[in-house]
Amino acid sequence: MTLRSRIPISLAAGAVAVAAFATPAVADDEWGQGGDHDRQFTRGVVTASTLLLRSAPNRGSQVIRVAHEGDVVRIFCQWFGESVQGNNRWYLLADGTWAWGSARFIETTRSPRLC
C-alpha cells in the first residue's frame, strides 16, 4: 500500500474519531433496574419553569436541551461550577443525553455523589 493511498484512510479514521468524541453519549433511560444500578443515580425534580441543560457546568456553555418545571431527572453526580444565585453546585444528568443542570433549580431528597 502506498503512502498516497494511506492518506485518505487516515483522514477518514480521524474524522470518525473526532465525530465519536464530539457527539454526546446517549444515556440509559431505564429506571428500576434494581441493585447497584439504581444507587448510582439520584432522583431530582426541576423547580424552574424552564431550565437550560448545558454541555459544561457554567452558563456560557452550549445548551444541550431544556427541562421544565416538574420534570423528573436522573442525576449521575455533582460538581462545582459557576455560581447561580449563590449556588455553585451543578448536577450531571443522564436523561437521553449527558447534560449539566444548575443544582439551584433541581430539588433532591439526598445529595448526589461527587463526580
Cell numbers at 107, concatenated = 430539588
**For the chain, how many structural domains are there in total?**
1
The per-residue pLDDT for range 49-89, each reduced to its tens digit, is 999 999 999 999 999 999 999 999 999 999 999 999 999 99
Q: Does residue 53 lie within any of the structural domains?
A: yes
Asked whether residue 100 is domain-assigned, the answer is yes
Q: Is residue 47 part of a domain?
A: yes
Residue 17: inside a domain: no
Give the residue-averaged pLDDT of 32-46. 71
For the range 2-10, what are the long-range contacts, defined as Cβ-Cβ under 8 Å and sequence gap of 24 or more? none
* CATH number of residue 69's parent domain: 2.30.30.40
Cell numbers 445529595: residue: 111
Structure-block grid coordinates of residue 75: 442525576
Q: Is residue 4 part of a domain?
A: no
